[in-house]
Amino acid sequence: MFLSYDSEGDVLEVVFDESLHQAEQRAYQLRDGIIVYIAAQSNKLVQLTLVSYRELAQIPVIHFDGWQKLTAAARKQLLPIVVAPPLTNFLKFDTKTSYGHIIFPNMPEMLAAAA
């Protein structure tokens, strides 16, 4: 796993499987600024990108409206990924209501301290 935070752009990227990072991927927008990347061949989680991370982290309840906009087939494909670790170590949402939250709101500070 590889974590990268760009303080200037306020973007947190979490690469879960570096071996798949160069593979063909599908991107799914769960909400504005929350994108999940899945390996096209293996259907494994590759990356999570959170744009405007600090703003998202301050929202106590986030509406993952992009989940509802996905096709039924895409939701079925993503369901086992979005309800299990490692993704649930960073965000959680109820796939029925599409509401949830960011798990680590202080991630940028933790990354800065580790640098």
Our CA angle for 86, 41, 78, nearest 5°, is 45
Predicted pLDDT at 112:
58
Residue type, 11: V
CA distances from 76 to 9, 10, 67, 83 (A): 32, 31, 11, 12
What is the domain partition of the chain in residue ranges?
A: 2-114
pLDDT for residue 34 is more than 90: yes
Asked if the model's pLDDT at residue 113 lies above 60, the reply is no
pLDDT, residue 23, reads 82
pLDDT higher than threshold 90 for residue 45: yes
Asked whether the predicted pLDDT for residue 20 surpasses 90, the reply is no
| pLDDT tens per residue across span 88-109 | 999 999 999 999 999 875 665 6
Which pLDDT does position 27 carry in this prediction?
A: 97
- Predicted confidence (pLDDT) per residue in 81-91, tens digit: 999 999 999 99
**Whether 91 contacts 48, CB under 8 Å:** yes
pLDDT of amino acid 108: 58
